[in-house]
């Protein structure tokens, strides 16, 4: 049957998180008490005022019909107001904001909007797999830009081959970063803008962790840098900020012509975001933001518990300033640097799910990612189990 599949489908690696889910199912069948530090899916509930908004909106028949492709103007106005207030960026809600069925959808559609077969797309490595996989599905060529520990997991733009840079059409970026939890300041984005201008690149910046920051760090918007609106757009989502992963609502903001390209794809392959969910999105963006501050504090405490516990278990890890991830090297005491082997080892011996770094790209090998999406007691239990592996 596989010979009937499109080449893009058969070229894809197995989706990392689906493979992890299968391993978890196998372990649970054996009666293992699993502590899942793998996939980054908030365990915290969606705030009540957002749930109340969707319940009211779902009862209004006006929201039962097809929504507009670009999203309700009221939602896009709420996004624009949020960007002005939070990011200090002014955008026109009419043509510089686009509603998405979660930012993942928009990222994937952007590959089809801008890449022809054989075109080159720069993408970070390690990275959220969708940048690479969407490029492959568009029959384009992913060009891995290494993120190394020596450079604090920031790409060295000067080391990109000039011929490749000249031919590339887009660059995917993501800060605060998944999986490394790396952060940047505005000066880095200025380098990116200059590079994009010099090489006629479209910059697609993925920013879903902008509101999960600690220790006084405030994540900047790529669009806040002079010249950024001329070369790129920024994706964001309500998933992590407001614990709404299952609701599937996000947005893209920035250059109107770039957004138009994604909108053209969307009009041909989807029918927009359920309006009741958009009404809930308005409540999230315009309502009380104390829920966001509570999230930050909860994740900060979890971060501190897990950092201390990992270090006590002989796993070296830096304390991140953003995201709900920890990115750590496979410990030297382990007999191999293979991230997959270490992940299987801790699952089989300690019942802990972690994500192997190789699943995020070749430069992720030797690392593992921990997600802070379980409560403090379970994190402490995980730390005790990891310490037990040293005995």
266, 286, 306 - which closes a domain: 286
Cα-Cα-Cα-Cα dihedral sign, residues 64, 68, 70, 74: negative
Please indicate, yes or no, whether residues 280 and 329 belong to a single structural domain of this protein.
no
Please indicate, yes or no, whether residues 213 and 344 belong to a single structural domain of this protein.
no
Please indicate, yes or no, whether residues 35 and 158 belong to a single structural domain of this protein.
no
Burial class of residue 256 (count of CB atoms within 10 Å of its CB; 0-12, 13-18, 19+): middle
Distance of CA 231 to the CA centre of its chain: 21
Q: What percent of the chain has pLDDT over 70?
A: 97
Please determine, for residue 2, whether its predicted confidence score (pLDDT) is greater than 70. Answer: no
Overall average pLDDT of the 60-80 stretch: 96
For residue 240, what pLDDT is reported?
97
Please indicate, yes or no, whether residues 308 and 252 belong to a single structural domain of this protein.
no
Expressed as residue numbers, the domain containing 328 is 2-45+291-388
Using CA atoms, how far apart are residues 43 and 28, in angstroms rounded to an integer? 19
> What is the tally of structural domains in the chain?
2
Please indicate, yes or no, whether residues 103 and 183 belong to a single structural domain of this protein.
yes
| Whole-number average pLDDT of the chain | 94
Please indicate, yes or no, whether residues 214 and 73 belong to a single structural domain of this protein.
yes
- CA dist 191 → 16, 202, 203, 210 (Å): 31, 14, 12, 20
Q: 254 falls in which pLDDT band (50, 70, 90)?
A: very high
Q: 16 falls in which pLDDT band (50, 70, 90)?
A: low
Please indicate, yes or no, whether residues 274 and 256 belong to a single structural domain of this protein.
yes
Please indicate, yes or no, whether residues 326 and 241 belong to a single structural domain of this protein.
no
Q: 160 falls in which pLDDT band (50, 70, 90)?
A: very high
The CATH number given to whatever domain includes residue 29 is 3.90.1150.10
Could you read off the pLDDT of 362-377 as tens digits, one per residue?
A: 999 999 999 999 999 9
Please indicate, yes or no, whether residues 231 and 307 belong to a single structural domain of this protein.
no
Q: 130 falls in which pLDDT band (50, 70, 90)?
A: very high
Of 191-205, 282-296, 328-342, 351-365, which range is least confident? 328-342
For residue 10, what pLDDT is reported?
75
Any idea which residue has 């299952």 for tokens? 246
Please determine, for residue 336, whether its predicted confidence score (pLDDT) is greater than 90. Answer: no
Using CA atoms, how far apart are residues 95 and 158, in angstroms rounded to an integer? 33
Overall average pLDDT of the 252-272 stretch: 97
Q: What percent of the chain has pLDDT over 90?
A: 87
Q: Where are the alpha helices (DSSP H) in 152-289?
A: 162-167, 186-199, 228-231, 256-269, 275-286
Q: 391 falls in which pLDDT band (50, 70, 90)?
A: low
Overall average pLDDT of the 346-351 stretch: 92
286, 306, 332 - which closes a domain: 286
State the DSSP code for 359: G
pTM: 0.95
Please indicate, yes or no, whether residues 18 and 95 belong to a single structural domain of this protein.
no
Please indicate, yes or no, whether residues 235 and 363 belong to a single structural domain of this protein.
no
251, 286, 321 - which closes a domain: 286
Please indicate, yes or no, whether residues 7 and 144 belong to a single structural domain of this protein.
no
Overall average pLDDT of the 214-231 stretch: 98
The CATH number given to whatever domain includes residue 133 is 3.40.640.10
Please determine, for residue 1, whether its predicted confidence score (pLDDT) is greater than 60. Answer: no
Could you read off the pLDDT of 275-317 as tens digits, one per residue?
A: 999 999 999 999 999 999 999 999 999 999 999 999 999 999 9
């Amino acid at each position: 049957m596989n010979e009937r599949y499109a080449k893009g489908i058969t070229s894809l690696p197995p989706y990392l998180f689906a493979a992890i889910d299968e391993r978890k199912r196998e372990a649970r069948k054996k009666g293992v008490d699993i502590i899942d530090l793998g996939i980054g899916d908030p365990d915290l509930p969606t705030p009540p005022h957002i749930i109340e908004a969707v319940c009211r909106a779902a009862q209004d028949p006006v929201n039962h019909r097809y929504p507009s492709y670009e999203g309700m103007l009221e939602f896009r106005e709420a996004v624009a107001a949020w960007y002005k207030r939070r990011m200090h960026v002014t955008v026109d809600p009419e043509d510089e904001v686009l509603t998405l069925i979660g930012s993942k959808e928009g990222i994937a559609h952007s590959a089809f909007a801008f890449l022809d077969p054989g075109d080159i797309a720069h993408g970070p490595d390690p990275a959220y797999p969708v940048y690479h996989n969407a490029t492959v599905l568009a029959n384009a060529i992913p060009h891995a830009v290494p993120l190394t520990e020596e450079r604090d997991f920031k790409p060295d733009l000067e080391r990109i081959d000039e011929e490749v840079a000249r031919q590339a059409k887009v660059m995917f970026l993501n800060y605060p970063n998944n999986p490394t939890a790396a952060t940047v300041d505005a000066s880095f984005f200025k380098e990116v803008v200059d590079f994009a201008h010099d090489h006629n690149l479209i910059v697609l910046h993925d920013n879903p962790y902008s509101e999960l920051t600690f220790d006084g760090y405030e994540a900047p918007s790529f669009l806040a840098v002079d010249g950024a609106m001329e070369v790129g757009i920024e994706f964001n989502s309500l998933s992590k900020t407001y614990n709404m992963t299952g609701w599937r609502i996000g947005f893209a903001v920035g250059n109107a012509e770039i957004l138009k390209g994604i909108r053209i794809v969307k009009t041909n392959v989807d029918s927009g975001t359920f309006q009741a969910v958009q009404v809930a999105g308005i409540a999230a963006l315009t309502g009380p933001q104390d829920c966001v501050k509570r999230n930050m504090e909860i994740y900060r405490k979890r971060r501190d518990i897990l950092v201390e516990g990992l270090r006590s278990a002989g796993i070296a890890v830096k304390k991140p300033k953003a995201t709900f991830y920890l990115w750590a090297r496979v410990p030297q005491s382990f007999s191999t640097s293979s991230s997959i082997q270490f992940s299987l080892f801790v699952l089989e011996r300690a019942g802990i799910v972690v994500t192997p770094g190789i699943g995020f790209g070749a430069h992720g090998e030797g690392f593992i990612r921990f997600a802070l999406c379980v409560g403090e007691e379970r994190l402490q239990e995980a730390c005790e189990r990891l310490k037990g592996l040293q005995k």
